[in-house]
């Protein structure tokens, strides 16, 4: 499928999805989010894709939020639909079976911050800025920001960021646990690729089980401990487990197939 708002490239088993609205600081229109979801969904069943990187075109922005000009005149029904559809996109990334890393190259505000938070890991350039400025527009975040920010940085700091709308720099985001690494802009893509390559070298089925178990910690009415017991047991009948244990016992490197 050809896209209007994103670029995709598959190299070395890594699919890079780049938001391509540089003149609008990669603001997320509804169509942009739909295209991201389509690319992510398709990658889940594409054996050639082992992991994904999500980034923004240009040096200034990862994504400066949902596109304000698009939703400025929405009514309750349209806005509710917009939020629910946005949640579907974020959930598709978060609950997918392949690791997605956000390479945050600049502004990651509002929906842009929410998109980065839906990814499994975040690598930020020193130029990145994070924030949930929705209170300045008269709305709360609508793509999961009130929930995932709390999960990542804790209630106290999340409440402060959400209530003030203040943006923070990459180093502050690192200190808070909002991002995993901070690197120079020139190294952003290579560092992100090397982190993803490292994960892609592990057992895909174990990686998938880790994602499910960790996500279950945050699901109401789901017992994450029970899920872990189940996934641990299930792992013992996977080819990856045979390969991993055989490789260890025979002092060789494992060659996982997933």
Q: Which residues are catalytic?
A: 114, 134
> How far from chain centre, in Å, is Cα 144?
12
Instruction: Please enumerate in sequence order all residues whose Cβ is within 8 A of that of 151, keeping only pairs 6 or more positions apart, or say none.
Output: 218
Does position 114 interact with ligand COA (CB under 6 A)? The reply is no
Which range touches ligand COA (CB under 6 A), out of 36-44, 74-82, 108-116, 209-217? 108-116
Does position 170 interact with ligand COA (CB under 6 A)? The reply is no
Per DSSP, 22 falls in state G
Binding residues for ligand COA, how many (CB under 6 A)?
16
Which range touches ligand COA (CB under 6 A), out of 48-56, 78-86, 130-138, 213-221? 130-138
Of residues 51, 96, 111, 258, which one binds ligand COA by CB under 6 A?
111
**Smallest gap from residue 163 Cβ to ligand COA (A):** 15
- The contact mask relative to ligand COA for 189-228 (x = CB under 6 A, - = no) is ----------------------------------------
Decide: residue 101, CB within 10 A, 0-12 exposed, 13-18 middle, 19+ buried: buried
Q: Dump the DSSP string for 108-167.
A: EETHHHHHHHHSSEEEEETT-EEE-GGGGTT----SSHHHHHHHHH-HHHHHHHHHH---
Instruction: Please enumerate in sequence order all residues whose Cβ is within 8 A of that of 61, keeping only pairs 6 or more positions apart, or say none.
Output: 22, 25, 26, 105, 106, 107, 108, 112
91/147 Cα distance (integer angstroms): 12
Does position 64 interact with ligand COA (CB under 6 A)? The reply is yes
Of residues 6, 25, 39, 188, which one binds ligand COA by CB under 6 A?
25
**Smallest gap from residue 112 Cβ to ligand COA (A):** 7
Question: Can you give the binding site for ligand COA, defined by CB under 6 A?
Answer: 24-25, 27, 64-69, 107, 109-111, 133-134, 137
């Amino acid at each position: 499928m050809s896209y209007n708002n994103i670029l995709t490239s598959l190299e070395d088993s890594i699919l890079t999805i780049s938001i391509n609205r540089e003149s609008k600081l990669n603001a997320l229109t509804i169509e942009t989010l739909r295209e991201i979801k389509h690319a992510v969904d398709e990658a889940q069943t594409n054996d050639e894709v082992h992991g994904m990187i999500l980034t923004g075109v240009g040096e200034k922005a990862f994504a400066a939020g949902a596109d304000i000009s698009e939703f400025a005149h929405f009514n309750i029904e349209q806005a509710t639909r917009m939020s629910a559809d946005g949640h579907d996109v974020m959930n598709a990334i978060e609950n997918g079976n392949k690791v997605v890393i956000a390479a945050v190259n600049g502004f990651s505000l509002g929906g842009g911050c929410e998109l980065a938070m839906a990814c499994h890991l975040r690598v930020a350039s020193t130029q990145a800025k994070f924030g949930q400025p929705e209170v300045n527009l008269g709305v709360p975040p609508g793509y999961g920001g009130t929930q995932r920010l709390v999960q990542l940085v804790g209630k106290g700091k999340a409440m402060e960021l959400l209530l003030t709308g203040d943006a923070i720099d990459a180093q502050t985001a690192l200190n808070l646990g909002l991002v995993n690494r901070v690197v120079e802009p020139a190294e952003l893509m290579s560092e992100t690729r090397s982190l993803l390559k490292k994960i892609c070298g592990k057992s895909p089925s174990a990686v998938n089980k880790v994602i499910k178990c960790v996500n279950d910690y945050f699901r109401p009415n789901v017992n994450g401990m029970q899920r872990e017991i189940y996934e641990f047991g299930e792992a013992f009948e996977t080819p990856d487990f045979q390969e991993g244990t055989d490789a260890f016992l025979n002092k060789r490197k494992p060659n996982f197939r997933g």
